[in-house]
Amino acid sequence: MTTLESDARRWLDGHLADLGVPYELFPCDPALADTAAFCAAYGFAPGDSANTIVVIGKSSPPVYAACVVLATTRLDVNRTVRERLGTRKASFAAADQTQELTGMAIGGVTVFGLPPDLPILVDARVMARQRIVLGGGSRSWKVLAAPAILEALPNVTVVDGLALEPPPA
């Protein structure tokens, strides 16, 4: 394990240890951190993969939220998220905005270690899974845990309909 990977693991353990929910840290090749590649390479079901997506509400000043949805669904930014943020428009935060707000790069964003005032919206379908795979704050780690780990975080709201089924292919 490199020093960077070791530092990333210590950072992650530091944010998870006091939550009171069992978890497992799963190392992964950073080149395989994106959901589809990760699931294919390591044998996880996309339906168990919960992605953290940062959204910006277009207002002055802008408002942000971290949203957690299953990889098999799509975040309802234009209706549910926008309404939750109380703005006329909302969109996915750009990679540089996400990095500035969270200190994490796309593909490794996790709900653990976010700014304490950032709302976290979780699609109710995530909570129905037995186990979920979450980003680990870097592209080198994933977190495996029961969805209850999300409810141990401050500022979490479970929302019915935060995500939608994708349109048929």
What letter would DSSP give residue 21?
Answer: S
Considering the domain boundaries, does residue 139 fall inside one? no
Considering the domain boundaries, does residue 45 fall inside one? yes
As for how many domains the chain has, the answer is: 1
**What's the Cα-to-Cα distance from 51 to each of 39, 85, 134, 136, rounded to whole Å?**
12, 19, 6, 11
- Please report, for the domain that includes residue 56, its CATH number: 3.90.960.10
Q: Which residue range is the domain that position 150 belongs to?
A: 3-12+19-129+145-163
Take residue 161 and report the two structure tokens written for it.
């309909």
pLDDT tens-digit readout, 117-144: 999 999 999 999 999 999 999 889 999 9
Q: What is the pLDDT of residue 3?
A: 67
User: The whole model's pTM is what?
Assistant: 0.93
Spatial separation of the C-alpha atoms in residues 29 and 154, rounded to whole Å: 30
Average pLDDT over residues 146-162: 96
